[in-house]
Structure 1
Amino acid sequence: MATGGVERLRRRADYLRVQAADRRAALPGLLLQAAPGEDDMRRVGFTASRKVGNAVTRNRARRRLKALAGEVLPQHAAPGYDYVLVARQATPARDFAALRRDLENALKKLKLWHRQDGGAA
């Protein structure tokens, strides 16, 4: 199933591979992890630990990250990478515009930001 034109990571092994790549950017609203993918696709996964809150809060955080990824990643994330968005304690309550800036800044920090026209910024 795709999230806004981006494929989803489904297997635990993919999540562990992205985590092991040790390429991450932590911002107040989220943690972005990235690793080169197996093909020229963009794939994304989402996670929220118990530190974020109870089940209702974690699900809200994941839903917000999914909506965010659907808006930003298809247009601005470098192809050929797998991404994992990790919720932080601030994710469920953080203003959505601030979350969007966090994701954009994380992509820029990792040098994986691409303009909509396909060029690197």
Structure 2
Amino acid sequence: MDFNRTQGLKKDSDFRKVYKHGKSFANRYLVMYILKNKSENSRIGISVSKKVGKAIVRNKVRRRIKESYRLNIDENVKSGYDIVFIARVAIKDANYDEIEKSMKHLIRKSEMYI
């Protein structure tokens, strides 16, 4: 999951570190954790629980979150952060526009826009 300025967050230990030490922001569809990292690039992780639905639904949600980040946020967010998005159960009924709006809201709330 490489974007222009963002790489993927893959290791379980990295996710746990962001959960434990990071700051969280939430709304109806997403929970976002952010933690300053030691590199100049940001890393993004996406977590979609089995509570959201079967694999097809979870993958669709994951793809929508990734695409929304890539198109709207990747270039406009401060670099050097680990960011984890956790999908809430209500997201399975959301369309792409609602997910995009929700993600932008969280980024603004966290004051990470450049």
Correspondence for 2:102: 102
Report how far residue 72 of structure 1 moved. Answer: 2.3
> Residue 35 of structure 1: CA displacement?
0.5
Tell me: CA distance 1:40–1:4, structure 2 relative to 1, closer, same or farther (3 Å): closer
Give 1:102's aligned amino acid.
S
Q: 1:3 and 1:23 mapped to 2: Cα distance?
A: 23
The aligned length equals 114
Conserved 8 A contact 1:104-1:113: no
Amino acid at match of 1:14: D
Contact 1:4 1:69 in 2 (8 A): no
Q: Secondary structure at the match of 1:92?
A: helix
The AA in structure 2 aligned to 1:7 is: Q
Counterpart in the other structure of 1:56: 56
Cα offset, 1:4, TM superposition: 4.8
The 1:13–1:109 alpha-carbon spacing in structure 2 relative to 1, beyond 3 Å, is same
Which residue in the other structure is 2:70 paired with? 70
After TM superposition, the structure 1 = structure 2 runs for residues 11-90 of structure 1, keeping only pairs within 5 Å, are: 11-90=11-90
Q: 1:12 to 1:26 in 2, by over 3 A?
A: same
Q: 1:22 to 1:43 in 2, by over 3 A?
A: closer
> What displacement does 1:103 show?
0.9
Q: Does 1:91 align with 2:91?
A: yes
Q: TM-score w.r.t. structure 2 length? A: 0.89
Alpha-carbon distance between aligned partners in 2 of 1:92 and 1:75, rounded to the nearest angstrom: 27
- Return 5+ residue gaps in structure 1 as ranges: 115-121
Q: Which runs of 5+ in 2 are unaligned?
A: none
Q: TM-score, normalised by structure 1?
A: 0.84
Q: CA deviation at 1:19?
A: 0.7
CA RMSD of aligned residues (A): 1.5
- Equivalent pair of 1:6/1:73 in contact (CA under 8 Å): no
